[in-house]
Amino acid sequence: MAKYQVAVLGCGSIFSRHLAALKANPEHYDFIAYYDPNPITAAKYASELVSQRLYQNEEEAYNDPAVNCVVLLTPSHLHYTQAKKAIASHKHVILEKPATFSIEELVELQELALQNRVEVFCVLQVRLNHSIGLVEQVLKHGLLGDIRSSSLVQRWQRPLDYFTGWRGTYTECGGVLFEFGIHYLDIMQYLLGVPKVTAAQFFKTKFKDSEVDDSAYALLDFGDFGGTLEVTLAAEPSNIEVSLIIIGSNGYIKLGGKSLDQVTAVHFLDESSKVRYDQICNEVLGYTIDNQAAIGACPHHPELYKQIILNPARFRLQSTYNVIKLVSEINELGAN
């Protein structure tokens, strides 16, 4: 029998990726049932999900004795309350980002999960990009020398009608960083540690009538070096970039691509570091790469579901603690 008998709540745009992940790991996950409050949305999958039950309401998922794991693909503001219900019903939980909007809620869910002897996992699939593993090894072996600076930039485009429905209010989407920037903020702190936020400011530059700001800027203090953050949805006419550059005393590396899945630039002062970098590429990837090389992009949902089984600590709820704390601090400072 599979370890997890799964019910999915929410059949929106991200559902297809999770469905593919469940299908790719049948030895670990048995997809039992699903629910979406919009019957039209749920009906889109009726012909494909003939072996799964369609619940009439979400409470059925919590009360179903055939289910021991609930996957939450619902609007962000519902994650905390729905996870709390599932955990209290002795169900494991897999949560799309963000897990919650506050550290207090996160800690409460952790404690509740411990009491009910269940696991809670958060979807942080960008960590699985091969490029991230590559940079981890570059930093571990000190190829960049002493880190001097870091900059995270996310310049995306969204249409004027994007901030409608639950995304149109701050209390329901959590703001631009919780909704859009969280994956890349997570990678930044995952690689470099959690910075102190020294300054932050938000702007409405495109979505002027929206309650939600479309652009965020912050100055970050990593202790021995500083960093900057820019996240905006006001680019035109299309997405420009998401990039992370790390500058050291012996060179720099820059990640880019659609989801930090590409090494767009890497340079070292000495040839020996370049030779060691090529060796690391072979160890991590199985081949060497030059600048501008895409080396494995998101989505990695099938692999993430596999890693929940093989390496659960990497995606347990507590692994998202630092980035939730960081976003919360930027939001609080930017609101003052």
- Is pLDDT above 90 for 120? yes
- Predicted local confidence at residue 295, as pLDDT: 52
* Residues 121, 93 contacting (CB under 8 angstroms): yes
- The yes-or-no verdict on residue 293 having pLDDT over 90 is no
Domains and CATH numbers, the chain: 4-122 (3.40.50.720), 127-299+317-335 (3.30.360.10)
Lowest mean per-residue pLDDT among 116-120, 136-140, 290-294, 326-330: 290-294
Q: Would you say 30 and 2 are in contact if contact means Cβ atoms under 8 Å apart? A: yes
Q: Report the distance separating Cα 219 and Cα 1, nearest Å.
A: 50
Say if residues 252 and 267 touch (Cβ distance below 8 Å). yes
**Res 297 pLDDT > 60:** no
Q: What is the pLDDT of residues 155-196, one digit of tens each?
A: 999 998 888 888 888 889 999 999 999 999 999 999 999 999
pLDDT score, position 155: 97
Termini Cα distance of the chain: 53
Helix spans in 51-102 (H): 59-63, 79-88
Q: What is the pLDDT of residue 257?
A: 87
pLDDT band, very low/low/confident/very high, at 197 (cuts 50, 70, 90)? very high
Q: Report the pLDDT averaged over residues 262-290.
A: 90
User: What is the pLDDT averaged over residues 15-30?
Assistant: 96
User: Does the structure show a pLDDT above 60 at 147?
Assistant: yes
pLDDT of residue 277 exceeding 60, the answer is yes
Query: Which pTM does this prediction carry?
Result: 0.93
- Amino acid (one-letter) located at 272: S
